[in-house]
Structure formats: C-alpha cells, structure tokens
Amino acid sequence: AVSIEPGLVPFWRQPRVLDRIEQAGILVLWSWFIFRVGAAHDPFAWLAAVSETSVALFTLVRRPTAAISVRLGDWLLAMTATLGPMLIVFGHSPWPQVTNVCIGLLLCGNLFQIWAKLTLRRSFGVAPANRGVKAGGPYRLVRHPMYAGYLITHLGVLLMWPSLTNLAVYAVVWTAQILRLRKEEELLGQDPAYRAFMTKTRWRLVPGVF
C-alpha cells in the first residue's frame, strides 16, 4: 500500500517521519558536497552544484503527503538517484576545447530542471509520492522534465571532468533513476488525473526516444 494510516506502521515509517528523514539525509550530504565544491577551486564546479542545491531547497519547502511509498526498494532507488550525483569528483579537464560546450550543457540542464521545479513548487519530492499532478510548463514536453534537466547537466559534468569514478557514479545513478521513474509512474498511475496527463504527454524523458 502507498497510503498508510498512522499507528498501523512503526513511527519511523509514517509518511511525515519519512519526509523528515529524507530532508535530513539530503541536507547532510548536500553540505558535504558544497564543501567539496568550494575546495575544488574550480569556477565551473559551482555550475555542477546548482541542481543539487535546488534539490535541497525544494525538499525543505515541499508539501507533505500521505500518498508516499513506504517500500524500502523505492526509497533506495530514490536516494541513490538523488544523492549519487553528489559523489562526483572534480579535476582538470583534459579537453579544454569542449569547455564551452560543457558550460552550455550545464547551463541548459540547470535552467530546464529549475523550470520544472518552479512548475512543481511545493509538489516537489524525492521518494515516489503523489503531491499533486502538474501538466503545464516543461511537463508539456516530457513527463519528467526535472530528470531530463539532470541528464543534460550530468552529460556536461562528465565531459568537463571525465573520470572512471564519475562514469561509475552516473552509471549507477541513471540505472536507479530509470527504475525510480517507473516506480513513480506506477504510483501516480493510480490517479486518474495522471493517467489523463500520460495520454497528452507521450514521452517520459527524451522526446522520440523514451
């Protein structure tokens, strides 16, 4: 079940408590990530921190919900996809000739995911949950524009600071992200408003591909 009555589950698995646990975990790792960004002494590292900072901010102001998954697997996928990008490492770019392309990807990806978050406003969440269905703005283009923005940003990061560590991080992150996306649609598909939205916006992440 995805909607749980208080008292029927342990205290720590009640939706509002899970919300707070999620917020605390994200803020702790985000603080460590920002420290590492500052220590990198790379002016472009801050572009990689925009999406993670917006996650932390919107997590703090989001609307609570009782329609949230309490399945451990769903939470592991969501937290891996959300926190994993904060494990990237910075370094010197071996391809200075593509720096402008990387900056363009980082800027476009950040702007697109922020547009999606501003459209969601307090409906933003990390674990699969129904905090209201949005169908305007970038949601007219793909059903998960926030993740599309992350994808563009992560491509920019990987090109700017290519390493086996970053490649491994993003391989794990995007495996979790795709599985997470499917879990979210499984939960949201119980809502007639979301099923109607799915008929209007065909593509999940990349138009013409997926």
Arithmetic mean of pLDDT, 129-133: 67
Residue 15 — very low, low, confident or very high, per pLDDT cuts 50/70/90? low
The percent of residues above 90 in pLDDT, for the chain, comes to 36
Arithmetic mean of pLDDT, 120-131: 64
Q: How far apart are CA 42 and CA 64, in angstroms?
A: 37
Segment 71-118, tens digit of pLDDT: 777 778 888 888 899 999 998 888 888 999 999 999 999 999 999 888
